[in-house]
Amino acid sequence: MITAIDTNVLLDILIPNPQFLQKSLTALETAFAEGTLILSETVYAELASQFDHHDTVQAFLIDSHIQLHHATPDALYLASEAWKTYHTHRPQHLTCPTCGHQNPFPHCSNCNHVFSMRQHIISDFLIGAHAQTLANRLLTRDRGFYRTYFTNLTLFFPQ
């Protein structure tokens, strides 16, 4: 069983996030007990941004038994297809969470509410496509995004 690890789970453990630390740690230990742990270039880079030295990143990965597996052309092409789907189906208007008015920007012209929206960037798609192509499942806390754009990817949630 090969488990790809998403950045959010590793950051829960490193930062650490008191709400998710224990669940993420237990899930990582379970995944290791059941097989191999891998990460993508994208997760490596996101993770490394939390360290001051490259040696420390490497030491963390060795201690955690997590191996860097490089994306294949198939994985990269799959990322591009999912990215294209996202752009094609992205709604033209944003619904105000307060009054339901449709707006072109995350600022409601009806009730003046300024709301945040989660924009996806291509790194999200690279992580999903890498896991679907090179692993049996992705250990992540993100429930909605991967389910929408990577329907053949098995997800493993910390719980």
In this structure, the number of other CB atoms found within 10 A of the CB of residue 14 comes to 16
Query: Rounded to the nearest whole angstrom, what is the least distance from the CB of residue 110 to Zn ion in the complex?
Result: 5
Binding interface with Zn ion (CB under 5 A): 96, 98-99, 101, 108, 110-111, 113
Are 3 and 37 in contact by the 8 Å Cβ rule? The answer is: yes
Residue whose entry in the numeric block shows the structure tokens 């992705």: 138
Angle between helices 122-134 and 41-48 (to 10 degrees): 130
Report the residue number, 45 or 111, with the smaller CB distance to Zn ion.
111
Report the residue number, 22 or 109, with the smaller CB distance to Zn ion.
109
Q: Cα(128)–Cα(6) distance, rounded to whole angstroms? A: 9
Report the residue number, 1 or 114, with the smaller CB distance to Zn ion.
114
Q: Cα(130)–Cα(72) distance, rounded to whole angstroms? A: 8
Q: Tokens for 156, please give them.
A: 């493993």
Are 2 and 135 in contact by the 8 Å Cβ rule? The answer is: yes
Q: Cα(11)–Cα(132) distance, rounded to whole angstroms? A: 21
Query: Rounded to the nearest whole angstrom, what is the least distance from the CB of residue 81 to Zn ion in the complex?
Result: 35
